[in-house]
Amino acid sequence: MSIRLITIAFSHYCEKARWALDRAGIAYVEDAHLPLFSYLPLVRAGAKRTAPALVTGDGPVVVDSTDILHWCDGKGDAEPLFPPGDAAVAELEDDFDRRLGPATRRLAYFHLLGDRRATLDVMGKHGPAWERVVGKAAWRLAVIAIRRGLRVDAAGAERSRTVIDQTFAVVGERLADGRRYLGGDRLTAADLTFASLAAPIVLPPGYADYLPRPDLVPPAFQAIADHYRRTPAGELVLRAYDER
C-alpha cells in the first residue's frame, strides 16, 4: 500500500510535511483537497480535523506536521531533522509551529481573501475537479467561513504582524554570528519549519505553485513579502527554498 499524504494543497503546514518527505526520499502520493473538503478524507483515514495527515499503511495515521517530520527521521535516508540531543532545534520548531504558522496564515488570508481573482487562482490549482467547481461557486461562503474560523480581520492581522516581527527578529539574532542555518551548518527541523511556515508571507519562488500568479498578488500583499524578504530571516527562507 502506498503512503498517502492528505493535504490542503496550499497549506503551509502541508508544505512542511511534503518538504520533509521529499528530503527523506520517501515515495508518497498526495491526496490534495480544498479547505473544508479536507474533513471527510481526514476523518475517513482516522486523523484529526487538520491537514496534513500521513497514512503510512504500516501503523497508525500520523496526524500532525511535526510528528510527520519525526516519522521521516525514523524512516528516511537523510540526516535527521531533529539532531539527537539538540533541544534548541526542537524548541524553535515548536515555537514556529504554535505561533508563526497561525500568524502567517492569518496575515496572508487577510490580504488574499479580499481579492476574488487571486483567491480563486490559489484555490483553483489543486484538488479534485469537483471540489474546485463547488469551491468556485461557493467561494463567498468559503471566504466567510475562513474569516470567521481563523479570525481574519484587521485587528487579527495586526496582532499576527507583531508575532511575525518578533519571530523574524529572533531568527535574525540567531543568524547574526554568520551561521547558515538556525542549528548551525546544516538544515534542521527548525529551518524547514521556519521556511515553510513563513512561505505564505515571503512568497519564495519555490512555493509559487501554491500562490497567486505573480500579476495577481495584491500590491499590499507583495509589499509585505518585499519587506520580509529583505530581512536576514527572510533571506534564510529564500535560501532554504533555493536549496530545497
Residue from 32, 34, 47, 51 that binds ligand GSH (CB under 6 A)? 51
Q: How far apart are CA 61 and CA 65, in angstroms?
A: 12
Judged by CB under 6 A, does residue 64 bind ligand GSH? yes
Are the C-beta atoms of 203 and 241 separated by less than 8 Å? Answer: no
Considering only residues 9, 13, 221, 225, which one is a binding residue for ligand GSH as defined by CB under 6 A?
A: 13
Quote the least distance from Cβ 65 to ligand GSH, whole Å: 3
Tell me if 15 contacts ligand GSH by CB under 6 A.
Answer: no
Give me the least distance between CB of 6 and ligand GSH, in Å please. Answer: 9
CB 7, min distance to ligand GSH, A: 9
CB neighbour burial string for 136-147, b if at least 16 within 10 angstroms, e if fewer: eeebeebbeebb
Tell me if 196 contacts ligand GSH by CB under 6 A.
no
Size of the site for ligand GSH (CB under 6 A): 12
Gap between the Cα atoms of 50 and 58, Å rounded: 21
For residue 6, the cross-strand partners are 31, 53
Question: Is residue 65 at the binding interface for ligand GSH, with CB under 6 A as the rule?
Answer: yes
Residues in touch with ligand GSH (CB under 6 A): 8, 11, 13, 49-52, 64-66, 97, 105
